[in-house]
């Protein structure tokens, strides 16, 4: 069930109509939202709803065991067991084919390639996200960050809550579960803010992302040898805008829907293409994942506590595994490796005297933004291309000569909005929200309806799946 569809709109309105009368009945409301979340997931495939229930139930029982125990060895043993089981589930569904094909490739280098006719498991939608939520639940309880008693109903709903179930953001149990335990206060909901988020998300997804995907990115990345330098460069920039607007648009809609139900989600994007260095980029891009990797992988590996060499190794391991989390392909590993190189290179550069001197100038931050944006775009080539051969062809065509055929004004304008829209000051959004708060309810409804109609009118035919659904 995709967000920008009539089916989801009807589903969400039905959920709202039932959830709000239950606002004062905390348990009944949670039971209803849990059932609605399973219906939402089952709309894609009922076959994997038992997997979702099993993973969340398992994580909840392990977390309860950790919370009840005062023996540190028992707590650590339960956490280790729980994390290992969750990772085995993720590895089975997501990496079985990748590992087998990689092993066959290595075998083929030293001898005859074996012929295996093993059926690969079908990838459940959003499996990476709900497994990471399960791990986060156990981790937060182990670290005693969850200050309230954990009940199974809360654990199940935390993992399966439908706005974030398919593609995040990755919620922290210590922040979200306490929200589930209190009655929802309708007077504290910023309704205009929620509707503006949903409208902005629809605009970014339906108009910007879908337009760039269908009219620029897909033609070039499907057959890069047929296009020349400027079309290929535009397509690379286009994918940077597409993936940002696709994922941040999804997050905006998810956050707005959760807000209308009375729950708060963390910020997941903060104008990432305005970043001046790799560390700054990862503090702005997919923030819930980058902080998850930091807290549950980088810091447990040792972080920066054991010298520069170990710090660089920890950074590289974290980013390589972060790349592999996005997909079972060596191109994702290379993408993650590039991010690791960027982070390590920046740390080495930041320690130089010339870096300090340049940072004192007015112009260097803008040079840094341009350099950082193009470094990110290089990584997106490998992220988007399914094979190294295709990625190499895309990069090779940057050196070819010929006239552009795709740089028509609607595409260029959409690209500019997708990238430079991130420079719009936050005061604009707050000003719009303040203006709407002074308008009559009927006028607000008319403005929002007009906005949705305009998005539907201007967007391409059909709704492409969200890119992060595959992760």
Catalytic positions are 326
The CA distance from 213 to 424, in Å, is 23
Contact between 424 and 204 under an 8 Å Cβ cutoff? The reply is no
The CA distance from 369 to 276, in Å, is 5
SS3 state at 437: helix
Record the tokens describing residue 353, joined without a space.
């005297």
SS3 state at 217: helix
The CA distance from 225 to 43, in Å, is 39
Radius of gyration from C-alpha coordinates of the chain: 23
122 by Cβ neighbours in 10 Å (0-12 / 13-18 / 19+) ranks as: exposed
Q: How many CB atoms lie within 10 A of CB 426?
A: 9
Q: What is the DSSP string of 135-187?
A: HHHHHHHHTT---S---HHHHHHHHH-HHHHTT-----HHHHHHHHTS---GG
Name which of 116, 418, 103 is nearest 239 in CA terms.
Answer: 418
Name which of 196, 198, 200, 160 is nearest 176 in CA terms.
Answer: 160
């Amino acid at each position: 069930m995709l967000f920008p569809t009539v089916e989801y709109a009807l589903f969400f309105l039905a959920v709202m109509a039932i959830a709000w009368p239950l606002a004062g009945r905390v348990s009944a409301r949670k039971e209803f939202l849990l059932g609605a979340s399973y219906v939402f997931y089952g709309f894609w495939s009922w076959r994997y709803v038992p997997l979702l229930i099993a993973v969340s139930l398992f994580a909840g029982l392990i977390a309860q065991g950790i919370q009840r125990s005062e023996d540190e060895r028992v707590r650590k043993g339960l956490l280790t067991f729980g994390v290992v089981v969750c990772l085995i589930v993720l590895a089975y569904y997501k990496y079985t084919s990748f590992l087998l094909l990689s092993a066959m490739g290595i075998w083929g280098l030293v001898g005859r390639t074996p012929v295996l006719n093993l059926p690969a498991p079908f990838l459940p939608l959003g499996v990476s996200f709900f497994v990471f939520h399960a791990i986060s639940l156990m981790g937060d309880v182990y670290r005693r960050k969850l200050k309230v008693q954990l009940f199974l109903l809360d654990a199940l709903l935390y993992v399966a809550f439908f706005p974030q179930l398919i593609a995040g953001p990755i919620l922290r149990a210590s922040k979200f579960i306490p929200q589930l335990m209190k009655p929802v206060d309708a007077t504290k909901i910023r309704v205009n803010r929620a509707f503006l988020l949903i409208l902005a998300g629809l605009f970014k997804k339906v108009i910007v992302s879908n337009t760039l995907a269908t009219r620029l990115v897909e033609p070039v990345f499907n057959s890069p040898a047929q296009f020349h330098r400027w079309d290929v460069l535009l397509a690379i920039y286009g994918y940077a805008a597409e993936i940002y607007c696709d994922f941040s648009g999804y997050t905006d809609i998810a956050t707005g829907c959760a807000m209308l139900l009375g729950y708060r989600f963390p910020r997941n994007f903060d104008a990432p293409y305005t970043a001046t260095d790799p560390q700054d980029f990862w503090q702005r891009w997919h923030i819930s994942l980058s902080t998850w990797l930091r807290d549950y992988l980088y810091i447990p590996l040792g972080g920066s506590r054991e010298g520069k060499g170990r710090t660089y190794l920890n950074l590289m391991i974290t980013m390589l595994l972060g790349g592999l989390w996005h997909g079972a392909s060596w191109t994702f590993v290379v993408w993650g490796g590039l991010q690791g190189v960027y982070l390590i290179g920046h740390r080495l550069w930041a320690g130089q005297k010339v870096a300090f001197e340049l940072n004192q100038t007015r112009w260097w931050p803008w040079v840094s933004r341009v350099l950082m944006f193009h470094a990110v775009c290089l990584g997106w080539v490998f992220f988007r291309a399914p094979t190294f051969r295709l990625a190499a062809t895309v990069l090779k065509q940057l050196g070819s000569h010929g006239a552009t055929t795709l740089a028509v004004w609607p595409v260029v304008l959409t690209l500019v909005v997708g990238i430079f829209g991130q420079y719009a000051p936050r005061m604009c959004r707050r000003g719009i929200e303040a203006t709407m708060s002074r308008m009559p309810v009927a006028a607000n409804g008319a403005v929002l309806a007009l906005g949705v109609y305009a998005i539907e009118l201007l967007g391409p035919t059909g709704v492409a799946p969200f890119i992060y659904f595959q992760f």
